[in-house]
């Protein structure tokens, strides 16, 4: 069963680690078993030393020497066999880790390919990177090392305890007395630290905020001479954290120091020898019979300490598993039921409503039609719902009510690849991938020729800028290709040009451009938009006053619609926006040297 199938079984979430590692649970248990058996076998030389000592003290001549060689040989065989089993366990765990790592990353990639594009706009790319790269990497220590280490510890402890009880149950109990005391102190230490954990976490958060505020405020502080105040806030956070850290560590350090001292090998050896001497004095044992306990009991300290500390490794792994699991359970867009092809490029929006989570509706009962070959502009104040409307047309998410059709087909019944072949877009925020400029332009058409890519770049007024890069179209974005905001928009336009869609959505495409770039972006869009069904989200009315219809949006509703002259004559909200902006069709265009989009 794959990770994705395991995630979609409909079972309750339960332990996130068990859920994420379910596909390799059997392999991990087998690896732990091999490691545990191997660790038990590697203890054979310790037992053989005690047996050899007993044989050496017994008379027997040649028979005794044969028994000594047999014991030594058997212990070496067990030692190498144990090492081989532990190696096999480690190999099995690492192979299982490679399998689950690949499955998780593929499952996350497949899941993210099906989530609404709007999901990405509400999250930083670092969140996805953390889950897909860092958190999956964190799980490596769990899958490749945790289970085999735990298996070795349990195997060594179990074999040692069984051996000691087989030698003498009274001496075994006496030798193991320090270990229950260790766990009592260990539990006390964790209770003490847990009581101060919340204060410790709050202190960490406060110091992080203070650092960010201090660094971000350096220019202002230097300009207005508030260094002492800024440093004072930072110092207060540091002092508060130091006090919280002291409260957190004092009981922990004291209890852990006592716990570690109790089961230090020398302490365990001292207890074994003291009880052994008493048992010999009472005539319960022979002196040579103390040797197994003196050799084996101190060896329990290391695996028991390791078992106690392994619990700490589960904390970061649990957090990583929870984030990975949450990403694998991200809601996806409804899969299309059929493959109906749109009849034309007409878009109809019917009774559209949408709200983010439990917030108030962003759009409410919106209806309009985009006729093929026409230009529709959407204007309105910030927060009116303009960009949300554009993203619904691109199916970044689905509406709560109503529907959007393209050529008579509901967008929810179209595959994403089919939709984006017909609807292109240039948004305010342009995202380029870490690849060559050529690959970025051809992202929607990987099979496009170099000539087609360059033609698209020429139409987008970005060809000459690309040729100035160190390797031209082969320059890699983020390495030897750095673009300004306006240049990024032109690369995005070139990408849309190459797709040649019949419908184009522009969401304030010149918002990030300076004056020179804005002219070039406007020219590119004007050339590209001819003959297409065009929806323009605009904040400057002079760029869209030639549109076939203008929709004025306020408070999530269309409050006015019509052409520019009609809306001005009506004297409503649009006319007031025009007057407040002091727009003049001729003068504004001449002053900026640009062409109106519509």
Per-residue pLDDT reduced to its tens digit, 373-395: 888 889 888 888 888 888 888 88
| pLDDT of amino acid 214 | 60
Confidence of residue 459 (pLDDT cuts 50, 70, 90): confident
Mark whether 7 and 133 lie in a shared domain: yes
| pLDDT of amino acid 246 | 73
CA distance 322 to 474: 40
| pLDDT of amino acid 200 | 58
Q: Read off φ and ψ for residue 134, nearest 5 degrees.
A: -70, -50
Highest-pLDDT range among 3-7, 164-168, 249-253: 164-168
Mark whether 146 and 188 lie in a shared domain: no
CB 534 within 8 A of CB 376: yes
Domains held by the chain: number: 3
For range 47-62, the mean pLDDT: 74
Mark whether 157 and 202 lie in a shared domain: no
Would you say residue 145 lies in a domain?
yes
* Pairing assessment for the beta strands 363-370 and 503-507 based on DSSP bridges: unpaired
With H, G, I as helix, E, B as strand and everything else as coil, classify residue 506. Answer: strand
CA angle 535, 536, 539 (to 5 degrees): 155
Would you say residue 296 lies in a domain?
no
What is the chain's mean pLDDT, rounded? 78
Q: What is the CATH number of the domain that holds 327?
A: 1.20.1560.10
| pLDDT of amino acid 210 | 64
CA distance 4 to 566: 55
The yes-or-no verdict on residue 584 having pLDDT over 50 is no
Would you say residue 113 lies in a domain?
yes
For range 305-320, the mean pLDDT: 73
Q: What tokens were used for 140?
A: 């490596």
Confidence of residue 225 (pLDDT cuts 50, 70, 90): very low
Name residues whose C-beta falls within 8 Å of residue 544's C-beta, 6 or more positions apart in sequence: 375, 377, 379, 536, 538, 550, 596, 597, 598
Reported as a single tens digit per residue, the pLDDT across 342-357 is: 888 889 999 999 887 6
With H, G, I as helix, E, B as strand and everything else as coil, classify residue 505. Answer: strand
Lowest mean pLDDT among 12-16, 451-455, 456-460: 12-16
Q: What is the CATH number of the domain that holds 523?
A: 3.40.50.300
More confident of the two residues 250 and 376: 376
| pLDDT of amino acid 129 | 65
Sign of CA dihedral 517, 520, 522, 524: negative
The yes-or-no verdict on residue 223 having pLDDT over 70 is no
The yes-or-no verdict on residue 558 having pLDDT over 70 is yes
| pLDDT of amino acid 62 | 58
**Burial of 376 from C-beta contacts in 10 A (0-12 / 13-18 / 19+):** buried
CA distance 590 to 588: 6
More confident of the two residues 333 and 444: 444
Lowest mean pLDDT among 92-106, 327-341, 365-379, 408-422: 327-341
Mark whether 131 and 247 lie in a shared domain: no
| pLDDT of amino acid 594 | 43
Instruction: Quickly tell me which residue has 């028991």 as its tokens.
Output: 304
Reported as a single tens digit per residue, the pLDDT across 163-199 is: 999 998 999 998 888 888 877 777 776 666 665 556 6
Mark whether 396 and 272 lie in a shared domain: no
CA distance 362 to 386: 9
Would you say residue 341 lies in a domain?
no
| pLDDT of amino acid 69 | 83
Lowest mean pLDDT among 286-300, 484-498, 570-584: 570-584
**Burial of 18 from C-beta contacts in 10 A (0-12 / 13-18 / 19+):** exposed
Name residues whose C-beta falls within 8 Å of residue 16's C-beta, 6 or more positions apart in sequence: 318, 321, 322, 324, 325
Reported as a single tens digit per residue, the pLDDT across 469-515 is: 999 999 998 888 888 877 888 888 888 888 888 888 887 755 555 55
CB 567 within 8 A of CB 552: yes
Lowest mean pLDDT among 89-93, 225-229, 405-409: 225-229
Please report which residue ranges of 226-298 form alpha helices under DSSP H: 227-262, 265-281, 291-296
Q: Is the pTM of this model over 0.75?
A: no
Mark whether 96 and 4 lie in a shared domain: yes
CA distance 37 to 46: 16
- C-alpha to C-alpha distances, 150 to 25, 147, 285, nearest whole angstrom: 15, 5, 34
Share of the chain above pLDDT 70, in %: 74
Sign of CA dihedral 350, 351, 356, 358: negative
- C-alpha to C-alpha distances, 159 to 45, 150, 156, 314, nearest whole angstrom: 13, 14, 5, 25
Confidence of residue 597 (pLDDT cuts 50, 70, 90): very low
| pLDDT of amino acid 95 | 92
Confidence of residue 54 (pLDDT cuts 50, 70, 90): confident
For range 152-166, the mean pLDDT: 91
Nearest by Cα to 128 from 327, 367, 362: 327
CB 32 within 8 A of CB 90: no
Q: What is the DSSP string of 310-339?
A: HHHHHHHHHHHHHHHHHHHT---PPPPS--
Mark whether 317 and 376 lie in a shared domain: no
For range 462-473, the mean pLDDT: 90
CA angle 534, 536, 537 (to 5 degrees): 155
Would you say residue 176 lies in a domain?
yes
With H, G, I as helix, E, B as strand and everything else as coil, classify residue 414. Answer: coil
Q: What tokens were used for 430?
A: 């342009």
Taking the alpha carbons at both ends of the chain, their separation in whole angstroms is 55
- C-alpha to C-alpha distances, 467 to 178, 430, 438, 458, 514, nearest whole angstrom: 76, 21, 11, 11, 21
Mark whether 549 and 586 lie in a shared domain: yes
Would you say residue 84 lies in a domain?
yes
| pLDDT of amino acid 36 | 93
The yes-or-no verdict on residue 281 having pLDDT over 70 is yes
| pLDDT of amino acid 345 | 82
CA distance 52 to 58: 10
Reported as a single tens digit per residue, the pLDDT across 123-149 is: 555 566 666 677 777 788 788 888 899
Q: What is the DSSP string of 555-583?
A: TTEEEEEE-HHHHHHHTSHHHHHHHHHT-
Mark whether 259 and 313 lie in a shared domain: no
- Range(s) of the domain holding residue 66: 1-167+303-332
Mark whether 16 and 150 lie in a shared domain: yes
Highest-pLDDT range among 80-89, 262-271, 470-479: 80-89
Would you say residue 291 lies in a domain?
no
Mark whether 277 and 417 lie in a shared domain: no
Nearest by Cα to 352 from 385, 320, 383: 385
Would you say residue 182 lies in a domain?
yes
Nearest by Cα to 333 from 414, 425, 401: 414
Mark whether 273 and 394 lie in a shared domain: no
């Amino acid at each position: 069963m794959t990770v994705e199938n395991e995630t979609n079984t409909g079972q309750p979430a339960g332990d996130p680690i068990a859920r994420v590692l379910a596909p390799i649970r059997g392999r991990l248990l087998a690896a732990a078993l091999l490691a545990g058996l191997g660790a038990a076998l590697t203890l054979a030389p310790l037992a053989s030393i005690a047996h050899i000592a007993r044989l050496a003290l017994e008379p027997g001549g040649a028979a005794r020497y044969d028994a000594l060689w047999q014991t030594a040989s058997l212990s070496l065989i067990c030692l190498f066999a144990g090492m081989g089993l532990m190696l096999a366990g480690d190999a099995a765990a690492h192979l299982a880790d490679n399998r689950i790592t690949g499955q998780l990353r593929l499952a996350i990639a497949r899941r993210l390919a099906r989530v609404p594009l709007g999901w990405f706009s509400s999250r930083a790319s670092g969140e996805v990177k953390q889950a897909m790269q860092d958190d999956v990497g964190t799980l490596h220590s769990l899958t490749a090392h945790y289970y085999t280490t735990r298996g070795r510890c349990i195997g060594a402890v179990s074999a040692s305890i069984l051996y000691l009880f087989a030698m003498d149950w009274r001496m075994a109990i006496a030798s193991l007395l320090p270990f229950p005391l260790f766990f009592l102190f260990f539990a006390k230490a964790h209770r003490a630290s847990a009581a101060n954990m919340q204060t410790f976490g709050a202190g960490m958060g406060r110091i992080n905020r203070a650092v960010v505020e201090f660094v971000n405020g350096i220019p202002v502080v230097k300009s207005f001479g508030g260094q002492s105040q800024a440093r004072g806030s930072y110092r207060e956070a540091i002092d508060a954290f130091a006090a919280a850290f002291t409260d957190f560590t004092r009981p922990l350090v004291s209890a852990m120091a006592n716990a570690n001292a109790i089961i230090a090998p020398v302490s365990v050896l001292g207890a074994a020898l003291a009880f052994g001497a008493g048992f010999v004095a009472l005539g319960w044992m022979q002196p040579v019979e103390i040797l197994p306990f003196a050799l084996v009991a101190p060896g329990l300290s290391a695996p028991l300490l390791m078992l106690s500390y392994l619990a700490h490794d589960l904390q970061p792994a649990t957090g990583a598993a929870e984030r990975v699991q949450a990403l694998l359970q991200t809601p996806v867009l409804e899969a299309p039921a059929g493959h109906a092809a749109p009849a034309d490029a007409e878009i109809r929006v019917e009774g559209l409503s949408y709200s983010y989570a439990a917030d108030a509706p962003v759009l409410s009962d919106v209806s309009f039609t985009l006729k093929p070959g026409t230009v529709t502009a959407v204007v309105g104040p910030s927060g009116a719902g303009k960009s949300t409307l554009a993203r619904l047309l691109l199916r970044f998410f689905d509406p709560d009510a109503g529907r959007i059709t393209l050529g008579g087909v509901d967008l929810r019944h179209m595959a994403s690849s089919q939709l984006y072949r017909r609807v292109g877009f240039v948004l305010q925020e342009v995202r380029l991938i870490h690849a060559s400029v050529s690959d970025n332009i051809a992202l929607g058409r990987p099979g496009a020729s170099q000539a087609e890519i360059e033609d698209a770049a020429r139409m987008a007024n970005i060809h000459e800028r690309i040729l100035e890069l160190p390797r031209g179209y082969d320059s890699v974005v983020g390495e030897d290709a750095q673009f300004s905001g306006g240049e990024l928009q032109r690369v995005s336009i070139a990408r849309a040009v190459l797709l040649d869609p019949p419908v184009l959505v522009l969401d304030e495409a010149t918002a990030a451009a300076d004056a020179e770039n804005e002219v070039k972006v406007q020219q590119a869009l004007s050339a590209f938009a001819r003959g297409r069904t065009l929806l323009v989200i605009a904040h400057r009315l002079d760029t869209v006053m030639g549109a076939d219809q203008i929709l004025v949006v306020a408070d999530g509703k269309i409050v006015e619609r019509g052409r520019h002259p009609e809306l001005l004559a009506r004297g409503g909200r649009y006319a007031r926006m025009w007057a407040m902006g002091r727009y003049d069709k001729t003068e504004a265009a001449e002053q900026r040297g640009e062409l109106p989009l519509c």
